[in-house]
């Protein structure tokens, strides 16, 4: 007899670690409804067919936050499986070019220093992003060079 195991759906997500000129990172809080509602995250979204990860990140940030960004160096790629979803997060450093971030598709936005990220509750996969950012600072012995 074989067990009927159904795998959760898989999504490829482009994720932005958006830096401003004050070495702060933009995070957003998910809308309260739905799975993981109310948790903080690094903004981004689902890769569309025919799109590159940098194109996905730029599009999602424009749609979700109404700002223009420059997509810089790749930080980390994370494969994570939740009970309801399997994700591949491809994370890039990004820089704010123009606009003032607006919480269009999220509940709230906040600019924070890397050291302050522990004050916010993130989904489990995002903890690896924070760890990678901190490791990069230790390796560089300074704020990360994102471009």
For the stretch 19-50, pLDDT in tens is 999 999 999 999 998 888 899 999 999 999 99
The answer to whether the annotation marks 134 as part of a ligand binding site is: no
The answer to whether the annotation marks 122 as part of a ligand binding site is: no
The answer to whether the annotation marks 95 as part of a ligand binding site is: no
For the stretch 75-128, pLDDT in tens is 999 999 888 889 999 999 999 999 999 999 999 999 999 999 999 999 988 999
State how far the Cα of 94 lies from the Cα of 140, in Å rounded to an integer.
18
The answer to whether the annotation marks 120 as part of a ligand binding site is: no
The answer to whether the annotation marks 32 as part of a ligand binding site is: no
Encoded tokens for 50? 């025919």
The answer to whether the annotation marks 20 as part of a ligand binding site is: no
pTM for the full predicted model: 0.89
Cβ count within 10 A of residue 110 = 16
Place of tokens 């960004």: 69
């Amino acid at each position: 007899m074989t067990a009927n195991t159904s795998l959760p759906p898989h999504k490829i997500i482009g994720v932005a670690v958006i830096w401003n000129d004050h070495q702060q990172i933009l995070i957003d809080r998910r809308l309260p409804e739905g799975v993981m509602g109310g948790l903080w995250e690094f903004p981004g979204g689902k890769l569309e067919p025919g799109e590159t990860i940098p194109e996905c990140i730029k599009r999602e940030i424009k749609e979700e936050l109404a700002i223009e960004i420059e997509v810089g160096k790749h930080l980390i790629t994370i494969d994570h499986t939740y009970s309801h979803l399997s994700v591949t997060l491809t994370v890039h450093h990004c820089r704010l070019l123009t606009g003032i971030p607006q919480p269009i598709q999220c509940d709230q936005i906040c600019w924070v220093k890397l050291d302050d990220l522990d004050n916010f509750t993130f989904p489990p996969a995002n903890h690896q992003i924070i760890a990678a950012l901190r490791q990069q600072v230790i390796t560089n012995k300074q704020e990360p060079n994102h471009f």
